[in-house]
Amino acid sequence: MTQTLRVGLIDADADIRFGRRMLIDSQEDCKVYFEEETAQGAEERAPQALLDVLVIDHRVRGLDGIQLVGKLIPLYQANKTEIPAIILTGPYFSYELLLSAIAAGATDLVTLDSDSGELLKAIRTSAAKEKALDFNSLRALMTRAKDLSFDRPDILVKLGTLEDREPDVLELFSSGLDDQEIANKLDIPLYRVRQSIKSILEKCSLATRAQLFLAVSAAEVKNG
C-alpha cells in the first residue's frame, strides 16, 4: 500500500491554493491536510499539524516565504514536532533565491512558471529524509551566489555542545563524505551516523543537511 504524503499549503492567493490542492489531491500518494494564508496563522497552526511536506509561497501576508521558513523551524523544534520537508515557491528562479531558501531550511524552489509535474516531483523527492546530499551541486551553487552570506552568529556556540562522536561525524560530513563513508571511517554503525547528524541538526536549530553544510562552511570562512 502506497503511503500518502501529508502536504500543507501556505499561500496568500486563494486561487493558487485551490489549484495546488486540486492537483495534489488528484494524486494517489499525496493529499493536502493543511492550508493557511498568513504568516501569523502559519506560525500558530503549522507546528501543530502532522505534515510530511510544507509548500510555502515566497509571498505570504506578514512575511516573505524565506523569513517564514526561518521562523517555523525553531517553532517545530520547540513543539517537539518532526520538521516537514519545506518547498518554497516563487515567481521567478534565481540562484540567489534558491540558495537563500536552502540556507533558511527549505529543500527546494519551484517557480510559478514551472509545469505541475515539477511541484509534484519536488513534493515526492523532498519527502525523502535520508537522501544523499549532493555536495558538488551545493558548492557550485554557493559559487554562483557567492555574494550571499550564510553566517549564523551562534553556530560556533551550538557546535560546542556536540557530544561523543558528533564532532567527528560533523567533520567528515563537512568534508563531503556520505553516511556510509563516515561510518566506515569511524568504524561505527550506519544508524549511529544518521542519529548523530539528526542530533547535530537539532542542537544547531537547523532543519536540513544542506542548511548545516552552508552554516558550517560560513563559520569556517569567517574563522579563517
Reply yes or no on whether the pLDDT at 143 is more than 90: no
Q: pLDDT tens digits, residue range 197-224?
A: 999 998 988 999 999 998 888 777 555 5
The helix/strand/coil state of 156 is helix
pTM of the model: 0.86
Question: What cell does 35 get?
Answer: 492550508
For residue 140, what pLDDT band results from cuts at 50, 70 and 90? Answer: confident
Residue 84: which region, alpha, beta or left (left: phi > 0; alpha: psi -120 to 50)? beta
Domains for the chain: give ranges and CATH numbers. Answer: 5-126 (3.40.50.2300), 135-222 (3.40.50.2300)
Whole-number Å distance between alpha carbons of 212 and 20 = 30
Please give the average per-residue pLDDT across 28-36, as a whole number. Answer: 95
pLDDT of 60-89, one tens digit each? 888 888 999 989 999 998 888 889 999 999
pLDDT digits (tens, 9 = 90+) for 8-30: 999 999 999 999 999 999 999 99
The average confidence (pLDDT) of the chain is 88
What secondary structure letter does DSSP report for 55? E
Query: Which pLDDT score is estimated for 151?
Result: 65
DSSP assignment of 23-48, as one string? HHHTSTTEEEEEEESBHHHHHHHGGG
pLDDT value for 29: 93
Judge whether 99 and 142 are in contact, CB under 8 Å: yes
